Chains A and B, each alone.
Chain A
């Protein structure tokens, strides 16, 4: 299967890539699927960082593939465990191919969405609106990956619905937090361009503050503070 055929199949019918996948398919398809994921995500990263210059584009293009790849890979054991305890036997190889195929599909959609994101950012959109636009774009292109992974779990078994919903919730949470850790993708105006910012607070409190700021509400005194392993310790 050449690259163009694989690309077409991933876009039109990713489930068929994973449906009968075995070890040999996993070994054969992993490199091209990874390449599609990284390439497409990098293109979206270039668009996201373009408003702050080429360096920010380069940084965002480097980090966005990590944002695509890390959450599903970290959540893979949990997805398999959910399916296992709900009585649905999904082979690891099939789950692996479905994950990579879903990511490749999202990567390709990200490449297609890159110009749509770049357009408003290139018009000096207000920073908070730009961040929300990036988050919305990422959410739209990432959803197909989640659906491909969930459809890799065969029908049947008890509480399959719970397994799928649980997996999607965890994937969403991990993706959101990973995005927060890897920020910035859209740089603040007049801010120094950095590869990573200090890890502060978490995605939920930051998103709420950002939304309020975008609505013009600067009254609440939310200040990010170090969290997780990066928090400041008082001696």
Chain B
């Protein structure tokens, strides 16, 4: 390979790879400025092409994490059953689970704060305790109602009436939204 050809090849390869990386980033939904930057500094932007780390993006589990995962897994398993699948769309559970998980993570964060003796001794911590207890009670209520929904699913299987299931899921979705508003 002659010198100039190799040099041009190397330069062209750099720009070509940069264009490719930029195109992939743009398809990924990255801002145009970031994709354009890849033309020059694509070696530094290669980590953006890797799939995001699911475990890292999930909030740290709190005191209700296991129960939330178990409750939704059981409910989804029930909805997979052909006799019950018409009762509700499993996708409607996703925002409810996400809201509960975030609420659980916030409760865990407050628990970590309250472990600090200085925070626990502060007079304002009484209000923190109260807010924590209220959030925990709301999460417990939603988890209890999830069990009710599973009972309702059984009734659907027998009577074919999907309305109560939809009503309960709607109520749960509203309570989940209220959990978010508590946080705001």
Contact = CB atoms under 8 A, between A and B. Distances in A.
A and B touch in the complex (CB under 8 A): yes
Interface of A: 22-23, 26-28, 30-31, 34, 69, 73-74, 76-77, 91-93, 95-97, 99-100, 228-231
Contact of A96 (B4, B36, B44, B52): B44
B122 to A, nearest CB: 28
B151 interface: no
5 contacts: A22-B56, A26-B45, A92-B47, A229-B3, A230-B4
A37 to B, nearest CB: 9
Interface of B: 2-4, 6-7, 25, 30-31, 33-34, 36-37, 40-41, 43-48, 50, 52, 56
B41 A92 contact: no
Contacts, number: 64
A76 B56 CA distance: 24
* Interface of A: prevailing SS: helix
B47 A31 contact: no
Contacts of A231: 3
Nearest to B30: A27
B11 to A, nearest CB: 11
A34 B52 contact: no
Contacts of B44: 26, 30, 73, 76, 95-97, 99-100
Query: Which 8 residue pairs of A and B lie closest in terms of their CB atoms, listed nearest first?
Result: A229-B3, A96-B44, A31-B33, A92-B47, A93-B47, A73-B43, A30-B37, A229-B6
A92 B44 CA distance: 8
Nearest to A181: B7
A229 B4 contact: yes
Among B4, B34, B44, max chain A CB count under 10 A is at B44
Highest count of chain A CB atoms <10 Å: which of B6, B40, B41, B56: B41
B3 A31 contact: no
Contact of A26 (B6, B40, B43, B48): B48
A69 B45 CA distance: 13
A30 B34 CA distance: 6
A73 B46 CA distance: 11
A26 B47 contact: yes
B47 A76 contact: no
Given A23-B50, A74-B43, A229-B4, 19 more contacts: A23-B47, A23-B48, A27-B30, A27-B31, A27-B45, A30-B34, A30-B37, A30-B41, A31-B31, A31-B33, A34-B41, A69-B40, A69-B41, A93-B47, A93-B48, A96-B45, A100-B44, A228-B3, A229-B6
A26 B41 CA distance: 12
Given A30-B41, A73-B41, A73-B43, A230 B7 contact: yes
B14 to A, nearest CB: 9
A91 B50 CA distance: 12
A50 B45 CA distance: 34
Give the one of A23, A30, A73 with max B CB within 10 A.
A30
A96 B47 contact: yes
A92 B71 CA distance: 37
Contacts of B30: 27
Nearest to B1: A229
Contact of A34 (B3, B40, B56): B40
A92 B43 CA distance: 10
B134 to A, nearest CB: 32
Contact of A31 (B4, B37, B56): B37
B67 to A, nearest CB: 29
A23 B41 CA distance: 15
Contacts of B37: 30-31, 34
A76 B43 CA distance: 7
Contacts of B46: 92, 96
Given A229-B7, A230-B3, A230-B7, A27 B41 contact: no
Nearest to A27: B34
A169 B28 CA distance: 36
